[in-house]
Amino acid sequence: MSVVPADPKLCPPLSVVDLFTIGIGPSSSHTVGPMRAACAFAVMALEKGTPTGILCELYGSLALTGKGHGTDIAVMLGLGGWLPEKVDPAATPQMIAHIREVNTLLLGGKAEIAFDPSKDIKFHKGKFLPGHANAVRFTARYADRSEVAQTYFSIGGGAILAKGQAPVVSNATVKYPFTSGAELLAIGREHLLSIADIVWANEETWRAKSETVEFIDSVRAAMMASIDAGCRAEGELPGGLKVRRRAKALHLKLLARGPRTEPSQVFEWVSLYALCVNEENAAGGRVVTAPTNGAAGILPAVLKYYETFIGTATAEGSRTFLMAASAIGFLYRSRASISAAEMGCQGEVGVACSMAAAGLAAALGGTNEQIENAAEIGMEHNLGLTCDPIGGLVQIPCIERNTMGAVKAINAAYLALQGDGKHIVSLDAVIETMRQTGNDMRSKYKETSLGGLAVNVVEC
């Protein structure tokens, strides 16, 4: 399946709340999206009455790596009326165990129905539906033998689209609309605005600036909380690969070294920050989709680097970081895709690296041209990155890949800041190259666990 270039005239304006969501791991496309789809279907099914049963059928990447990504768990929680931002990760194991024990669930949190996960969730491995590589179909059956059915596509970053329904197009008109990096730079030059200021102004289309500040601060707080949680946790990650959590032990070792004087220690700390977040994600913990769960550790790690190692760091600088990063994320969302099932890991880790590089360059006072250059460098050296998780789990190589992406983002930012913003490859060109590369990439390298490390490393 190919991703067609976006028509700028048809792209609704995106908001920071579309890009950053606080949810649970391990995957935005395989966990967050299906949970939202299941919750939406529960509402639809109950409008007709109480079903006698519900069948959930998973296709494409959701079927091939759904077990390792917790898609079956997400579906059960969603049918139970839970949304990713509301459910308590610590309570989910008990809720799922109860459903499996009694073979019933409380549909939409209101009506008890028969539901046997072993029979009512089907993984159609090897079958893809037209529309998107991540597809789930729900069918509700009623006592009068009638049915209600709906197919949903999980299109990346936790966003979903119901089959047969056109994407919701906002009627909002932002103050400074942009659909390309070139337009973004032109707006900045014409109005003497930074990239972050352009996003701040556009967000006022939907809410007061104080509310956007509150949202961005909550995103930052959730990112820092996921780092803190990862530093405290230990033991094995779920899923059967017997991957041990390393963040706590690494944190203690780094603390024991004392003052951070050696340059190499900076990168060890940055790697630790990313490790913390992605171990939390792999364990089904609370993380920020930024812009996906599989790449959730990169922006928090680079932001933590800014706040910890830059002596002039401020709260306003952290907000600038996230707002500038958002502008870059909007371009990838509208002109290509952030779904690994369509783009491979370049669409997740590559995009997060590009966003983080831009955010750091902005927080460090870079010009718009330097910020755009940083974003371009961050993606240029992730082009062709495949998504080949071993065992369908967001663990190997995903966790370490976030540490690499974070360090690469910092390097990209400083490279850009050393120049004057002039460069040969534009951000628009690299986004289009990513899209074309994703289209050319064979499906076995796009979150199916049918190629790459997934088949060349023997599972433990």
CATH number, domain at 93? 3.30.1330.90
Burial class (CB in 10 A: 0-12, 13-18, 19+), 21: buried
Q: Are residues 221 and 126 in the same domain?
A: no
Query: Which amino acid, 269?
Result: W
Angle, alpha carbons 354-365-14 (nearest 5°): 45
Residue 194: inside a domain, yes or no? yes
Mind listing the pLDDT tens digit for each residue in 52-110? 999 999 999 999 999 989 999 999 999 999 999 999 999 999 999 999 999 999 999 99
In this structure, are 145 and 264 located in the same domain? no
Number of domains present in the structure of the chain: 2
Write down the residue that tokens 């109860």 correspond to.
98
pLDDT at 322 (0 to 100): 98
Q: Which amino acid is at 14?
A: L
Of 155, 190, 220, the one marking the end of a domain is 155
Count of positions (residues) in the chain: 460
How many angstroms separate the CA atoms of 136 and 114, rounded?
20
Residues with Cβ < 8 Å from 414, sequence gap 6 or more? none
Q: Let me know: does 213 contact 188? Beta carbons within 8 Å.
A: no
Distance between CA atoms of residues 193 and 202, nearest Å: 12
Convert the pLDDT of each residue in 26-47 to its tens digit: 999 999 999 999 999 999 999 9
Claim to verify: residue 282 and residue 390 sit in the same structural domain: yes
CA dist., res. 87 & res. 70, Å (int): 14
The per-residue pLDDT for 264 is: 85
125 and 264 assigned to the same domain: no
My answer on whether 286 and 371 are in the same domain is: yes
Q: Is residue 271 part of a domain?
A: yes
Both 114 and 240 in one domain: the answer is no
> Domain range spanning residue 49?
30-155
445 - beta bridge partners?
none
Q: Are residues 136 and 216 in the same domain?
A: no
Its pTM stands at 0.92
47 and 13 inside one domain: no
What is the rounded CA–CA span in Å between residue 13 and residue 309?
A: 35
pLDDT at 460: 46
What token pair was written down for 317?
Answer: 């600088």
Write down the pLDDT at residue 170.
Answer: 57
Helices and strands, number each (H, E), in the chain: 20, 9
Contacts of 51 (CB under 8 A, 6+ apart): 45, 107, 113, 140, 141, 142, 148
Q: Report the C-alpha gap between 62 and 370 in whole angstroms.
A: 39
Tell me which residues of the chain have a pLDDT lower than 50. Answer: 1, 8, 460
- In angstroms, the CA 35 to CA 154 distance is 10
Distance of alpha carbon 411 from alpha carbon 378, whole angstroms: 8
Tell me phi and psi for residue 363, to 5 degrees. -65, -30
**One-letter amino acid identity for 427?**
L
Same domain, 216 and 323: yes
Contact 54, 316 (CB under 8 A): no
Residue 188 to residues 38, 146, 208, 253, 437, Cα–Cα distance (Å)? 42, 57, 22, 45, 30
Please report, as a single letter, which amino acid is at residue 200: W
**What string of DSSP letters covers 192-230?**
T--HHHHHHHHHTTTS-HHHHHHHHHHHHHHHHHHHHHH
| Nearest in space to 271 (alpha carbons), one of 411, 407, 408 | 407
Query: Based on the domain organization, do 252 and 341 belong to the same domain?
Result: yes
Cβ neighbourhood burial of 381 (10 Å; 0-12, 13-18, 19+)? middle
453: left (phi over 0), alpha (psi -120 to 50) or beta: alpha
On whether both 143 and 216 belong to a single domain, the answer is: no
Instruction: Point out which residues pair with 114 in neighbouring strands.
Output: 104
pLDDT of the residue at 370: 98
Indicate the SS3 state at residue 23. strand
Q: What is the pLDDT of residue 259?
A: 81
